[in-house]
Homo-oligomer: A and B are copies of this chain.
Amino acid sequence: MTADLHATASTRLRADGQRYTPRRRALVDLLADSDQPLTIPQLLEHRKDLAQSSAYRNLAILERAGVVHRIVTTDEFSRYELAEDLTEHHHHLICSSCGDVTDFTVPAAVEHDLEAALSKVAKRSGFRARSHRLDLVGTCATCE
């Protein structure tokens, strides 16, 4: 299943005219092993051999290829996670004190109703929806 992940990543990059290099694979591995979106400093901390500029460049490439997703909150750093179709549909708890972001899911029934309501809104306003984003903002257990 990790093999699948790398195969998918490789395919998507190739479709975008890019290679699946060791550095890019390392980034995907780090994101796959995490249960929360990571900032670039966090990624570099885990893999000291990655260069900052390359990390930025490769994450941008992986994002364009649809392999990773970039999240930006009010805190100073962007965060990266695997694209949603490579993991499972989930949402984020965002701590407005420390900036930390962790994943959560809601029951399928709620998700389904929400989806229905949103597609109605989109249709009404001529908006082509690609995805929705549901975050809970507050303070996490450790900042509390």
* Residues of A bordering B, CB below 8 Å: 70, 72-74, 93, 95-96, 102, 104, 106-107, 110, 113-114, 117-118, 121-122, 125-141, 144
Contacts and interface: CB of A to CB of B under 8 A. Distances in A.
Given A133-B137, A136-B132, A106 B118 contact: yes
**This protein's copies in its complex:** 2
14 contacts: A72-B73, A93-B121, A110-B114, A114-B114, A118-B136, A122-B136, A127-B138, A127-B141, A129-B137, A130-B137, A130-B139, A131-B136, A133-B136, A134-B135
A128 B104 contact: no
Given A70-B74, A74-B70, A125 B102 contact: yes
A26 B119 CA distance: 36
Contacts of A126: 140-141, 144
A70 B137 CA distance: 13
Contacts of A125: 93, 102, 104, 141
Nearest to A73: B72
A113 B117 CA distance: 12
Nearest to A127: B93
Contacts of A138: 122, 127-131
A136 B110 contact: no
Contacts of A106: 114, 117-118, 121
